[in-house]
C-alpha cells in the first residue's frame, strides 16, 4: 500500500511538471486565435479623390457611398479650387454629406497664382464618421460673381467593420 502511495505521488508530481510546461503555450495559442485587430487603421486605410469642373457656386464634390457593414472615419480633407478671375474667391468650404455633420475648411491663395487663374488650397484634420449608405461630400461656395470654377477634393481615413 505504501509503494502505491509513493507511485501515485510520483505520477502526480510528473503530471504537474508536464502541465506547468505544456499548459501555458496551449493557452497562448487559444488566446491568439480569439483576439483580432481587424479595426486597425493601417489595415483599413481609405483615401478617395474626386472633382467637379465648370460649376457656378456651389460646387459639390461627392464621394462614394459607404459600403454595407462598414463605417468610414474621415481624418483629413484637402481641397484645391481654381478660379478664372482674381476677384473671385471661395466664400467657404465645408465637409458634409448625409450624416448632417459639417466641418469648415479654411482656404488660402497659392502664392504663385498666374494672371489668368487663381488657385486656393485648404487642408484640415477632422474626425467625422459616415455609416453604411451615407455619402461624404465637400461643398465649395464662391462669393460674388457667377464665374465658373473647378474644384478637386480628397478625403482620407479608415474603415471599420460594424457587427
Residue of 44, 38, 37 whose CA lies nearest to 157: 44
Q: What is the Cα–Cα distance from 75 to 159, expressed in whole angstroms? A: 11
pLDDT tens, per residue, the chain with 163 residues: 667 767 777 777 777 776 666 665 555 555 555 666 666 676 789 999 999 887 777 888 999 999 999 999 999 999 998 877 666 677 777 878 776 777 888 888 887 666 677 888 999 999 888 999 999 999 888 766 667 788 999 999 999 988 7
Amino acid at each position: 500500500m505504501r509503494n502505491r502511495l509513493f507511485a501515485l505521488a510520483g505520477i502526480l508530481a510528473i503530471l504537474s511538471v508536464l502541465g506547468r510546461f505544456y499548459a501555458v503555450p496551449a493557452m497562448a495559442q487559444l488566446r491568439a486565435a480569439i483576439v483580432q485587430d481587424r479595426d486597425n487603421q493601417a489595415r483599413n486605410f481609405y483615401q478617395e479623390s474626386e472633382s467637379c469642373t465648370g460649376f457656378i457656386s456651389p460646387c459639390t464634390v461627392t464621394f462614394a457611398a459607404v459600403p454595407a457593414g462598414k463605417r468610414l472615419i474621415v481624418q483629413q480633407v484637402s481641397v484645391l479650387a481654381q478660379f478664372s478671375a482674381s476677384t473671385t474667391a471661395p466664400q467657404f468650404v465645408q465637409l458634409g454629406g448625409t450624416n448632417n455633420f459639417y466641418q469648415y475648411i479654411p482656404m488660402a491663395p497659392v502664392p504663385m497664382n498666374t494672371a489668368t487663374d487663381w488657385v486656393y488650397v485648404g487642408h484640415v484634420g477632422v474626425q467625422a464618421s459616415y455609416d453604411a449608405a451615407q455619402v461624404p461630400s465637400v461643398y465649395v461656395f464662391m462669393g460674388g460673381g457667377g464665374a465658373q470654377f473647378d474644384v478637386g477634393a480628397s478625403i482620407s481615413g479608415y474603415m471599420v467593420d460594424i457587427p
